[in-house]
Amino acid sequence: MAISRAALLCTLVLATGFFLTVSSQTVPTPEEDFDAWIARNQAKYEAQNSESTVLDTQTLPGGDFSVEATPSPPQEATCIRTVGKKGSGAKYTKVKAAIKSIPKGNSVRCVIRIAKGFYKEKIEIPKDKPYITIEGAGAGVTILSYGDTAEEAGSTSQSASFAVMSDYFVAKDLTFEVKKKKKKKKTNKQTNETLSL
């Protein structure tokens, strides 16, 4: 089967015309400044992307409020909770209470500042509370401690002393400690495991 020159030429012209009409992007000519072409296309791209940014105002418990551009994850703290011992002036005496005060579906960075001291609590940050930062007064100075075991809790997954289920969690300047009792014949010995950040 032979293809005539006319049929081949017609096919090439149609194919070339098709590709030229599919691309609406203009390519700079040799005379046009390439940098200007790049700048023009970059400005067009940024204008298209800036249209999708929406400002969101969120009122938080305790009179705190924040304004955040979504969908980008927040970088700076816009809500702050303080945890300390009674008489310290902190709003909360338990870390769990500070976490509970943060609204579900939170879309702003919330910092929970914990004063120096020893806090014996079993803590979980649920999946529906992202963007939480736990900040202590220093490693070895702020200690979060609990001593659950799989046997006591019913399973290994339920025995965590500090569990994080949410996204974008940060912990700094504190110590996580697990105290557990080991049973030996007639004595109870305590062992400690710590993780300082």
Q: How far apart are CA 163 and CA 83, in angstroms?
A: 18
Q: Is it the case that residue 8 has pLDDT exceeding 50? A: no
Q: Is it the case that residue 36 has pLDDT exceeding 80? A: no
- pLDDT at residue 98, rounded to an integer: 97
Domain ranges of the chain: 73-196
Q: Which helix H or strand E contains 164, and what residues bound it?
A: strand 162-164
Architecture of domain 73-196: 3 Solenoid (2.160)
Beta bridge partners of 65: 59
Contacts of 94 (CB under 8 A, 6+ apart): 83, 119, 121
DSSP per-residue letters across 27-56:
PPPTTS-HHHHHHHHHHHHHHHHHTT-EEE
- pLDDT at residue 152, rounded to an integer: 87
Token pair 């109870």 is found at 188
**Which backbone phi and psi does 155 adopt, to 5 degrees?**
-165, 160
pTM: 0.56
Structure tokens at 2: 């032979």
What does the pLDDT look like over 110-134, one tens digit per residue?
Answer: 999 999 999 999 999 999 999 999 9
